[in-house]
């Protein structure tokens, strides 16, 4: 193993900076299950305001934040629509069905390239013989869709589709910060298009833990109960909320650096199976379908040279940039990866 370790597996591998640790160590705290943690309360108010909603709720993970939102919007035995690659139906271990009794139906995976009319045609009305659709969920940016950004115009069309059908619209905004930076769309502009959003502080923003559910005061009141039922009520969580507040103050605008570094990676591996133009944010998907190496072989060869990459499927790998990587780390990766892919 080379001693130069460049971890390109995920933007969740970041460690808190010295400034963030200082903010955590000095945070004012209280018992958040009693609603008495001032730092959690401040974070919730701050995030609600950023997205122009009445309230927000701090949750331990993005998965829990998504699942709380889905339970708010879709009663048991009713239906959620989303794309076949959505995190909520791919990586949350069947939680919508297991905890919410929610039936999910998907449109074919197209990442961020959604056709609102396709979604409109899928909505099922109320009736005693069919599963009624109650909500549509989209992902901004799209994880399995290579960090793609759903254009604002598409989101507005989806809002119209949801309003026409009388169903809710949820955003899995784990990386909505990246979309905001890439497309320069104000967060409040995104916020007003959705009934509920989930956002993560631990993907790209550098906080160790933490996500929020965002919605109306009535929804967040119910969300608090659902979170407790799911075992997500935390006590002196202000230590974690302080990391989140620090991340929002210091680590949003710098995402542009991660996007530029992802573009460098994409350019370096472009001759071997990834389209540089398709990379918009910090995720770089590698399609190895036509390559001699499969994803496991690539990952093993890269690891031997001090570069860690994710294996998403037999012929799909992924590179992710984040705040624990600097230009020297990317220099190393753009030397190693093309050499392996060219061999």
Ligand X SMILES: Cc1ncc(COP(=O)(O)O)c(C=O)c1O
Burial 82-103 (b: 16+ CB within 10 A, else e): bbebbbbbbebeebbeebbebb
C-beta closer to ligand X: residue 62 or 191: 62
From 32, 67, 83, 87, residue interacting with ligand X (rule: CB under 6 A): 87
Nearest to 114 by CA among 138, 88, 147: 138
Using CB under 6 A as the binding rule, whether residue 203 contacts ligand X is answered as yes
SS3 content of the chain, % helix, strand, coil (to 5): 45, 15, 40
> Helix H segments across the chain?
18-25, 38-50, 62-73, 87-90, 95-100, 116-122, 152-165, 176-183, 187-191, 217-229, 238-250, 255-269, 295-304, 327-342
From 82, 174, 240, 329, residue interacting with ligand X (rule: CB under 6 A): 174
Using CB under 6 A as the binding rule, whether residue 298 contacts ligand X is answered as no
Task: Quote the least distance from Cβ 209 to ligand X, whole Å.
Answer: 8
* Binding residues with ligand X: total (CB under 6 A): 13
Q: In Å, how far from its chain's centre is CA 85? A: 13
Using CB under 6 A as the binding rule, whether residue 67 contacts ligand X is answered as no
C-alpha angle 68/190/76, rounded to 5°? 25
> Which residues 213-272 are close enough to bind ligand X by CB under 6 A?
none
Task: Quote the least distance from Cβ 143 to ligand X, whole Å.
Answer: 4
C-beta closer to ligand X: residue 104 or 301: 104
Using CB under 6 A as the binding rule, whether residue 133 contacts ligand X is answered as no
Beta bridge partners of 105: 81
Using CB under 6 A as the binding rule, whether residue 179 contacts ligand X is answered as no
C-alpha span between 141 and 258 (Å, rounded): 14
Task: Quote the least distance from Cβ 207 to ligand X, whole Å.
Answer: 11
CB 268 within 8 A of CB 46: no
Q: Pick the stretch among 20-28, 198-206, 216-224, 300-308 that binds ligand X (CB under 6 A).
A: 198-206
Using CB under 6 A as the binding rule, whether residue 139 contacts ligand X is answered as yes
Using CB under 6 A as the binding rule, whether residue 62 contacts ligand X is answered as yes
Q: Pick the stretch among 60-68, 163-171, 271-279, 314-322 that binds ligand X (CB under 6 A).
A: 60-68
From 39, 71, 104, 143, residue interacting with ligand X (rule: CB under 6 A): 143
Tallying the residues shown for the chain, one arrives at 343
Using CB under 6 A as the binding rule, whether residue 103 contacts ligand X is answered as no
Q: Helix, strand, or coil here: 136?
A: strand
Q: Helix, strand, or coil here: 147?
A: coil
From 61, 103, 106, 316, residue interacting with ligand X (rule: CB under 6 A): 61
Question: Under the rule (CB under 6 A), what is the footprint of ligand X?
Answer: 61-63, 66, 87, 139, 143, 172, 174, 200, 202-203, 211
């Amino acid at each position: 193993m080379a001693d130069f370790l460049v971890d390109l597996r995920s933007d969740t591998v970041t460690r808190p900076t010295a400034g963030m640790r200082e903010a955590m160590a000095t945070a004012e705290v209280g018992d958040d299950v009693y609603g008495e943690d001032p730092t959690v309360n401040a974070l919730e108010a701050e995030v609600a305001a950023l997205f122009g909603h009445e309230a927000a709720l701090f949750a331990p993970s993005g998965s829990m934040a998504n699942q709380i939102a889905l339970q708010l919007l879709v009663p048991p035995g009713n239906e959620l629509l989303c794309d076949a690659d959505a995190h909520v139906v791919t990586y949350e271990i069947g939680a919508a069905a297991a905890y919410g009794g929610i039936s999910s139906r998907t449109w074919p995976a197209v990442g961020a390239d959604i056709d609102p009319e396709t979604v409109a045609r899928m909505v099922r009305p109320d009736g005693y013989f069919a599963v009624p659709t109650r909500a549509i969920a989209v992902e901004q940016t799209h994880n399995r869709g290579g960090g793609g950004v759903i254009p604002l115009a598409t989101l507005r069309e989806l809002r119209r589709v949801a309003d026409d059908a009388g169903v809710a619209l949820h955003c899995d905004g784990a990386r909505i910060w990246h979309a905001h930076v890439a497309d320069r769309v104000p967060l409040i502009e995104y916020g007003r298009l959705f009934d509920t959003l989930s956002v993560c502080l631990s993907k790209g923003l550098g906080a160790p833990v933490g996500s929020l559910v965002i919605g109306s005061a009535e929804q967040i009141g119910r969300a608090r109960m659902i979170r407790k039922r799911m075992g997500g009520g935390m006590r002196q969580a202000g230590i974690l909320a302080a990391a989140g507040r620090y991340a929002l103050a210091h680590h949003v605008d710098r995402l542009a650096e991660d996007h530029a570094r992802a573009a460098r990676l994409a350019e370096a591996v472009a001759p071997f199976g990834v389209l540089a133009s398709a990379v918009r944010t910090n995720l770089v998907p590698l399609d190895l379908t036509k390559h001699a190496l499969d994803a496991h072989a690539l990952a093993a060869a890269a690891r031997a040279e001090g570069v860690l990459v994710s294996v998403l499927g037999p012929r799909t790998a992924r590179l992710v940039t984040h705040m624990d990587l600097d230009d020297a780390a990317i220099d190393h990766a753009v030397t190693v990866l093309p050499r392996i892919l060219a061999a």
